[in-house]
Every structure is written in C-alpha cells, then in structure tokens.
Amino acid sequence: MDRTATIIGIAYLVVIVVGAVLALVLGNSTFLRKPIDREQVERREQKWLIVVVAMLVALLFATIFFAPYGRSAPKDAQNVAVTAQQFGWIITPSRLKANVPVVFTLRSKDVNHGFGLYDAGDTLLAQVQVIPEQTAQLVFTFRKPGTYRVLCLEFCGAGHHQMVSTLEVTQ
Amino acid sequence: MSAMPADSRHEAVAEEAGAVTDEQRAWARGLALRYSLTSTAILFAAGLMGVLLRDSQANLGRLHDNFWYAMMTAHGLAAFVGWAGFAVMGFAFWVLTQVGVPLRRFGRAMAEATWWLMALGAVGILITTLIFQYAGSWVFLYPISFHSAGHWGRWTNFFFHGSVLLVGLSIVAWSVSICHTVVGPALHAVSERVANRFGVALGLGYLWPKRFATNPKSVPYAVIPLAVIAIDMIIATLPLAVLLVIMMVESLSPGVTVNALVAKNILWWFGHPVVYLLLFPAVAIYYYLIPRYAKRPLVAGNVIAIAWAIAVIANVLVWAHHIYLDYPQGSIQASLNTAMQPVTFALTIPSALSLYSLGMTIYRSEFEWNAASTALFLGLVGWLLAGLSGVVNATIVFDNQVHNTLWIVGHFHHMALLNIGFAVFGATYAFLPELTGKKLYSDKLGKAHIWISFWAGMGAFGIWLIEGLEGAPRRYSVLPARWDTMNQIAVGFVLVLAAAQLLFAANVVQTLRGKVAKERTGREAFAAVTSPAAMMLVTLALIFVGGIVGWVIGHYTGHTKTVKVGAATPAAGGATGAAGAAATAGDATRGKAVFASAGCIGCHTLKAAGAAGTVGPNLDQRRPAYALVVQRVTNGKGAMPSFKGRLSDDQIKDVAAYVSSLAGK
C-alpha cells in the first residue's frame, strides 16, 4: 500500500472506532432513563461547532500545500509523450531511467481517460486525468528499476479495463 | 410490537398538524404511498443489477463487458435517483404535511409532474441501457456517448440523454413544488415578500428573529433542509438540462459539439448537489422522526441555522472536488479545485451539527427501539461513516490517492445505502402504517432486515474501501487478478445483503395486504432473538458462512474459467457477424484495445482507430479479411514483426476481428 493510502487507512480506522464507541454509548444511554439538561446540551452545540471548525482548519492547512498542482520539473528531466485513446496508451519513450524526474505530457484523442501509474505489485503510485482537447502534465520520479503498469482510471468505454500498457525503468 | 396506531405516537406534532385539513392529508397520503411503492420497485431492479455486477466481477457468471458497463450505468441511475432520491422526494411531501405545511394547488400539480417525469425517465434509462446497450456510465462524461466503440448508436444516444433529461426535469419540478409550498401561508411568515419568506423557510428566523419573523410559531426544523435543497437543485439542474439538450442534438447531427472540460464541470455542477438531493430530505426525515421515537423535541440551538445557511451556498460551490485530478495546462481548473477544498470542508458543518443534534436528541432519552427507529439510528451511523470517508475525498492530496478507486465506491455506498437507504427503510416502516391505515405486518421482521442489511452492507462496502486503498480501480468489469480473492469474499456479503431485502419486500407486501404477523409464528421464529447483540452475532455468522461459500464457488469457477474471448454480443455483431462464426472469431472491442496498445497505431493507418501511420500498409485502403489479419499478425511479413508470443492467440483474433470489421469505415 502506498504511504498516503496507509495514512488514510489508519486515520479512517481510528475515527470509525471512535464513532463506533460513541454509537454504542448513545444506544446504551437510552436504557439509563436519566433525562438530560437540555439547555446545557444546546450550549455545548456551539462548542462542538468550534471544535469541528478547528479540526477542519487544521486538516486544511496540513494538506492543502501538498496538492499536486503546478509541479515543475528540473531541466534534466526525462520527457515522455503519452497519447490516450480507446483502449490503449501510446507512450514514447517507454524505457526510462530511475531516479531522474519524468515529465509525462498527456493528451487524449477521443474521450476522458485517467493515467494511473502502478508498480509491478499493482500499487497505485500516481494519477492524473487526461481530457480531450487539453494537455495534462504529471511529474514523477521512479525510485526503483523494474516494470511499471499504466492503467486507465477514468471510465472510457467497453474496453476500459483492458487499457493497460507497461513502462520499463532501468538504473 | 411497534405496529401501534401511528397517531398515538407523536403528540409532539399533533398541534402543528392541526392546521392541515383531512383532504390535504388524504391527498398527501396517496401521493407519498405512490412514490414509496414505485421507488421500492426500482430498488429491487437496481439491487438485482448490483448483485449481478459484483458476481460478474468475482467471476461468478461473467457478463459481457459492454453489457456489464450498461448495467453499471443503469444500476447507478436507478439505485441513486430512481430509488433513494425518488423515495425521499416522496416522503418529503408527507413530512411537510405532517409538520403542518401542506401542498397547495400549484405545488400539487408539480408533485404530480415530478412523479410522471421520473417514472418515464426511469423506464427510458432502463430500456436504453439494458436493451439498447448504452454504457457511458451515469456521469456520461462528454464525449463518451459519441465514442461507443460500435456498441450503441445515435438513436440510443438520443433517447438515453432524453430520458436523463426527464429525470432532471422531474428534479426541477420537485424543487419548484417544495419552493411553492414553503413560501405559502403555512409557515406563518410575517413578511409578504417572497425573498423574505424564503429566508424564513431556510431557518434564518433562528438567527434574526425580527427580520425573518414568524407568528406564532417558528419554522419546523424539518422544513429547513427541504427549502435548502429545493433552491439548490433548480440552480444545479438547469445547466445540465441545457447540456443534455445539446447532446440530444449532437446525437442526430454530429457537427454540434461541446468543450469536454466545460461539460465535465457542468456535469459535476449538478453531480454534487444531486447527492444532497438525497441527503437533505433524508435529514428532514431524521429531524421529524428521531424526536418522535426519542419522545422529546429535536435538541437544536440556533446554531443549526448557521449550518443550513452555509449549506445553501456551499452546496453549489463544491462541484470541482469531483475533478481534483483535472488540471490541464493553461486552464483555471487547478485554482478552482484548490478553492473548493475549504468550501467542501465547510459543507461538512451541516452534517456535523445535525449529527450532534440528532445524537443528543437520542442521548438518555426513552428511545423506542423498533424497526423504524433502529433503521434511523443505524442510518446515522452510516452518515458518520460516509461523512468521514467523504472528508478524505474532499482533501486534494488524499483524493490524489483514492480518486477513481473502489474507495470512492465504498464511500458512496455508505452514503447511498447505509445512510439514505436506511432513512428510507426507517421512513417506510414508520410511514407505511400512516399512509395505508394498516398496521405494519411485523416489526421483528423489520428489525431482522435492518440488522442483517447493516452488517452485510458494512462487509460488502468495507471491502471496497480496503481494495480502493490498495489502488483497485473502479468501473472495471474485470479487475486485475490481484483482487480476485477479495471480490469473491465480497460476494458472500452481497448475497446476504440481497437476501435481507426479501424480508423487506415480504413486510411491505404483507402490510399492504392488511396482514399482521402473529407472535412467534414459524416465519418469525428465527427473528425471535432480536436483541442487538444476538442479531449481530447471527448476522456475522451468516456473513462468514456466506463469505466462505462465495469464496469456494468463486475459487473453483475461477480456475475453470473459459472466458470465450470470441463471444461477441449483438451490439458488436458488425464486427464478427460477417464471418458468421462468432464463437471462434475475436471480439472487436477487445481488439480495439489490442490495436491501440500493441503498437499497430504507430505504423498503420486506420481512421476508425485514429491511426495515421505510414510505415505499413494503409488498412483503410487494403481492407484485409479476418483470416489474413490473423495470418499476418501471427507470422509477420517484411517489416511487419511477428506478434506470436507477444500477443496471445485470443488477442490476435480480437485485433483481427476489429481490423476486419472497421477498415475503410
């Protein structure tokens, strides 16, 4: 699993365990027959709002700067032209070097496609959408030599799942 | 037994409902019942398709690729709009009537129009997908409809987009009906101005009591989310309607085109709010029913009005979070996407505050645990689950990882089934007796349905979340082999989930027939132990057994898989029909993939494939026969390399079928 995916998985697991405990406490409380102090609970709603906003702001500032937009590549980058079309990828060149940044310049000949870069174990490494009439760019550096796979990650028709190509990365 | 007369249950609203006449209530009963039964019928169609889709992915009864995608298109639209959306739209009318805001003449006409437009649209969508093979997915991202790889034609396009347009118009009609109803006299707004009355309906009176004054009562909470979404859906749907009309025109006169990026934005301009067309009326149901079972009014301070004020604006300004990974050069899309992360975060506030209010309404109350209230309680849990995975999707850097993986599919099934669906189930169990005047057939059967559905759903959708984090792509009729085992385990959960819906069907049908289950009949014996813990254990055991059975079946059929690559469908008939040997010839759709990925494009010209190579023969001019292509690709000739070993025999047959069918066209 990719590092980001691991972070997401652990974070989600933690919050749903907290949520499950809250749900059990809530369900169980209905058998206690002890009324609540309504005004106090309504006041606490404002505090809850502040807590929620604080958590969201924290998450926003922790993540927004890592958006994949506008990444520039160094001069010595390897340039790769990718043409997407139903149902295949034309990638030139398809033999690349490890540890040298790669700039993929992507265009589509027909419909929307998604350029999904996978390693040999089918772990998703990077992706970007390829839209007709537009040029997309993806900067990525391969760390390990080997065979990588490109899968289509935007539904493009009956052969969508067959739209697979490979990349060879050497030292 | 919860099937007690509905009237004795909610004194809290009796006073409010006093303003509604018997005629108004009788009319709303008939309408809501019609919506409920129609949407339930669609649930069964959509659910069956869901089972077939997932079975096929697990290689239990593999469907042909294009048919799988056609069914996926139908399943998405039918389950999301035709069932969940349609159901909550109908219940909204009943909730409004019950809180003392009945429909007036124009509102009623619009509510009738809503039903007819939706019913017609749903039938059109089912026919164009399941029979005429339209398979562009429910988002029909422009211009995929016009690149069908030969599977469907222009009239199918015309009628499919026309059917979706009917559904869109149905949503607009519903929104107009709700708007007309909430600005009427029933809310007791003091001002005569329509804008002010909308403000009252949006709950602004809780923040500015003088400016948005009501006399004598303040606005029932259940009205607020309905007013919010009615306004938003008019704004959200009209641009899509224009796009659909253009696509209908393009179906018949191909010269008319649209910019693909603009079209994508328009689709999601509608595509996000339509999710809340399900959520917000479901919230109205929660606001109305949870207090009934908790036997106390909704715990909500004025702060909840802030949440809904945010919602009405933010809901139409978050669409780009569905296209975070579209950021082509020279467009403003990246800036737009970045701006929409904080707005999307803001949109979680209505959910966070509503969950607080509803949770605190239940907290330490004398909550009545019956089938309806259990469904609503678990629906809140589903809401939390969907909301939390939604925060992940709303975060650009996380979306970069999970976008278009099965994680998303898990997320929105939590949303659509475990949250909205459970609100619909809860509302059905609560309202069916009120709408029909008959007691619910069996509360225990209802509880069994709810608990089994919950745990089976958790399993089936949880597997998607896990697969998605591993990078499994969504919308694949056939997933990479790595996910075979998990897909087979999922089938067990899916079958249990489907079987549980039969309990729901039985309960609804028997209620309509006026039957009431006797205590401890044979039919109910298994549901006798209905304590949550026991139900949980029983369900987990069922799921475990189901999972193993599913895995065993999948495992063995998986190894004997004889997926005849040559099995061409009628839709691809043009490709192989000429040879009259569909069983042995290749599949043109797969062939198209082979043609593009094997490098043929580099050297040959084939207009239909967008290939303009000049190294090898021009295939449009030569128009080679099937057998010749097989021969040349296998053995090569001159500069043409042999692909034997590089392509499988089946792949060679596929590419031959493709080339021989298309060359010259």
Calculate the CA A84 to chain-centre distance.
20
Say if residues B290 and B358 touch (Cβ distance below 8 Å).
yes
Residue type, A147: T
Yes or no, beta carbons of A112 and B367 under 8 Å apart? no
**Chain A hits for B451, Cβ within 8 Å:** none
Are B282 and B351 in contact by the 8 Å Cβ rule? The answer is no
CA B281 to chain centre: 15
Measured between beta carbons, which residues in chain B are less than 8 angstroms from residue A137?
329
The list of chain B residues with pLDDT below 70 reads: 1-18, 519-539, 544, 548, 550-585, 602, 613-615, 638-639, 641, 645, 663-665
Q: How do strand A102-108 and strand A78-85 relate by DSSP bridges?
A: parallel
DSSP B580: T
By C-alpha distance, the chain A residue nearest B300 is A42
What tokens does B633 get? 């690709």
**pLDDT for position B527:** 54
In this prediction the ipTM stands at: 0.97
Is the Cα dihedral B134, B136, B138, B141 positive or negative? negative
Cβ within 8 Å, pair A56-B348: yes
Q: What pLDDT sits at residue B321?
A: 96
Residues of B in contact with A121 (CB under 8 A): 482
A39 contacts chain B (CB < 8 A)? no
B529 Cβ partners below 8 Å, 6+ apart? Answer: B535, B538
The three-state (H, E, C) secondary structure of B138-199, written as one string: CCCCCCHHHCCCCCCCHHHHHHHHHHHHHHHHHHHHHHHHHHHHHCCHHHCECCCCHHHHHH
* Pair type for strands A146-152 and A164-170: antiparallel
Cβ distance of B403 and A15 shorter than 8 Å: no
| Strand pairing category for A146-152 and A113-118 | antiparallel
Nearby residues of B301 by Cβ (< 8 Å), 6 or more positions away: A42, A43, A45, A46
Residue of chain A minimizing CA distance to B392:
A8
pLDDT score at B1: 35
* Residue corresponding to tokens 């906003």: A53
Give the type of residue at B73: T
Three-point CA angle B115, B121, B122, nearest 5°: 90
- Number of helices (H), then strands (E), in chain A: 2, 9
Count A/B contacts: CB-CB distance under 8 Å.
289
> In terms of residues, how long is chain A?
171
Please tell me the predicted confidence (pLDDT) of residue B566.
33
pLDDT in tens, A153-167: 999 999 999 899 999
Cβ proximity of B47 and B121 under 8 Å: no
Is residue B107 within 8 Å of residue B177, measured between CB atoms? yes
- For chain A (171 residues), the mean pLDDT of every run of 10, in chain order, is 89 93 93 85 90 96 93 89 92 93 96 96 94 96 95 95 92 89
Report the pLDDT value the prediction gives residue B520, as an integer from 0 to 100: 58
